[in-house]
Structure 1
């Protein structure tokens, strides 16, 4: 990734500044950075005032106040507000417009499929008379398909809340296009993350602003119109020489009314569900292709055991060794003996030989073979090294999701349990590992 100084210089470009300010007006702003592999999301200043960009002074002040964070990405809400203040942001009557957005998320390996999926959504919008008001943004690993929020007349906005309109339209179109979308998505080959198209409309949702950097890829978020979908290529998102359309400003007043009316007849009222605090019982439409490749319980066990050891003893190399060691042991135990056999006998370890270099040491209340000479755990006549862990656990996880994200998720999950659970072999297996072993990555992707 490029240095903060270069990112800041890019953001100070006069053209970039103007585009971001114009798009961000009347929207609630968020900044994102990554520090120590943790995502940090900022939506308020030190005085607890929500971030906003109404003019050049407010824009530049973000780089004064938050330079220490070295933030990369600027987001803005789908909502445009009458007033941006802490006491008004939860007031649904304060929302003037909402931008309907379809979120397409994939991998660079499936670049052409991402474009084809965007084209399918645009074609369905055209079936319902949306032409001039549509624009697309390249997000870094996907495309956001937008309908300009001003495509809806005052008559329709007086009749329905703009959040209801946005939610209903995205929901309706994804349902109508479901078969075509699933057929195209099934062609995806990328393994680093799942390919999905989602309705993410909710009351505080943010999306990347035009010309913002991606949160870790060195691409910027450029806008293009539907007639350029198949012409678009990644060179357009090069921050040193981007190709960006200013036509996100274009709209046809009232063009969205027909689709809004049809969609709202078939979709539940978002605002009523939100205000009732029942959470939306109707699920947002999500169309995706999951690919967990060769990742399974073995990798989940290895990851969680490594995270467990790291939290207890703060040694990353030994944590990796222990994680792989335990994954091998439990895989063996699954087939050859009950895991928790109560006995006063020393626990048998496969291929463990009495050796002056190898000893059984305690991790909590369980014993594991340990090589005194190398400082790594040992099983199957072999040390489990950090490099072995990377090959068997880390690389396999990387095939479906960024390993650092999975590691941090595992740490946060394990920190929820008291230390006595982490120190007890049986308690850890029953209370920590067993409940999540078959849904770890599902929960991770849900919370990403």
Structure 2
């Protein structure tokens, strides 16, 4: 896709709206494909503060500021933050997330894996708060962070909650077949593709899918010239995932790599360090 076609895509008001709707409160990253080398930009060029998208207009502003680097794909963290003066102060919430990698160009294998995860979540009490995305090259499934109560996120680090739930559910979805890989990639700065963003290398759009229609999915739904996108992707039932979260925390425990003796290190420092090192579930770093 030519750079001018990428710009035309991101000038679409619906595209700007959906990226902003997904990104509010989160840190953002942009994959650029300049001729010299691919790069992931995570900071404002002028201030060196983390990129943020709070309004639709921010999408085109960031695209224009990075245009010389050929911006291609927008990502946002699974964590939502409290911000002050452009810096993240602390995690407020986080989305348990599953990245279904296709080891072969067989979307139908990903469909089966997505259906199994959704079925498992439904059996565990989460039926109305899931977000399903086709990134252009694989499937992403999230539990909306609104489905986990503020009380739980106050008592437990949102990172611990997201990690434990993801691990707990993944352990119950082992028989996914040889053509897919499911990993728990929840970490302090993980980003996933924003809805209606372009894929970083394929001429496809990241579209949200009605969980009830996953079995009908067709790759043609992600055609930039005429994509099919589920607009009600952000619906949720408050507290629907509370029981699952508490059960997962009890059985799995906290995020394992965190250094407990440095638990009070400022979140903005952690994010700013790790954003340089960590990427999206299927983003090369």
TM-score between the two structures when normalised by the length of structure 1: 0.56
Find the counterpart in structure 2 of residue 51 from structure 1: 51
**Aligned Cα RMSD in Å?**
2.1
1:48-99 deviations in Å (ceiling 9; x for gaps): 121111123422211221111111100001111111656x43x5xx111111
Instruction: Give the drift of 1:274.
Output: 4.2
* Match status 1:24 vs 2:9: no
User: SS at the partner of 1:68?
Assistant: helix
**Distance in 1 of aligned mates of 2:192 and 2:142:** 11
User: Map of 1:32-71 to 2, 5 A cutoff?
Assistant: 32-36=31-35, 38-46=37-45, 47-71=47-71
Instruction: Give the drift of 1:109.
Output: 2.3
Find the counterpart in structure 1 of residue 207 from structure 2: 222
The one of 103, 117, 134 aligned to 2:99: 103
Task: Check conservation: 1:124, 1:173, Cα contact below 8 A.
Answer: yes
Find the counterpart in structure 2 of residue 357 from structure 1: none
**Distance in 2 of aligned mates of 1:30 and 1:263:** 29
Find the counterpart in structure 2 of residue 416 from structure 1: none
* Match status 1:136 vs 2:132: yes
Q: Which runs of 5+ in 2 are unaligned?
A: 264-281
The one of 142, 147, 168 aligned to 1:146: 142
Find the counterpart in structure 2 of residue 115 from structure 1: 111
The one of 245, 255, 278 aligned to 1:260: 245
Instruction: Give the drift of 1:132.
Output: 0.4
1:366-411 deviations in Å (ceiling 9; x for gaps): xxxxxxxxxxxxxxxxxxxxxxxxxxxxxxxxxxxxxxxxxxxxxx
The one of 227, 232, 237 aligned to 1:242: 227
Instruction: Give the drift of 1:175.
Output: 1.0
In structure 2, do the counterparts of structure 1 residues 19 and 447 end up closer, same or farther at CA, with 3 Å as the change threshold? Answer: closer
**Distance in 2 of aligned mates of 1:56 and 1:222:** 17
User: SS at the partner of 1:130?
Assistant: coil
Task: Check conservation: 1:32, 1:41, Cα contact below 8 A.
Answer: yes
**Distance in 2 of aligned mates of 1:446 and 1:223:** 19
Q: Which has the higher contact order (CA 8 A, sep 6+)?
A: 2
1:277-323 deviations in Å (ceiling 9; x for gaps): 69xxxxxxxxxxxxxxxxxxxxxxxxxxxxxxxxxxxxxxxxxxxxx
Q: Which runs of 5+ in 1 are unaligned?
A: 189-194, 279-444
Report the structure, 1 or 2, having the larger helix content.
1
Greater gyration radius = 1
Instruction: Give the drift of 1:100.
Output: 1.1
Task: Check conservation: 1:27, 1:84, Cα contact below 8 A.
Answer: no
Give the aligned length: 266
Task: Check conservation: 2:10, 2:60, Cα contact below 8 A.
Answer: no
**Distance in 1 of aligned mates of 2:27 and 2:137:** 24
User: Map of 1:173-192 to 2, 5 A cutoff?
Assistant: 173-178=169-174, 180-181=175-176, 185-186=177-178, 188=179
User: Map of 1:87-98 to 2, 5 A cutoff?
Assistant: 88-89=87-88, 91=89, 94-98=90-94
In structure 2, do the counterparts of structure 1 residues 117 and 277 end up closer, same or farther at CA, with 3 Å as the change threshold? Answer: farther
Find the counterpart in structure 2 of residue 169 from structure 1: 165
Instruction: Give the drift of 1:446.
Output: 11
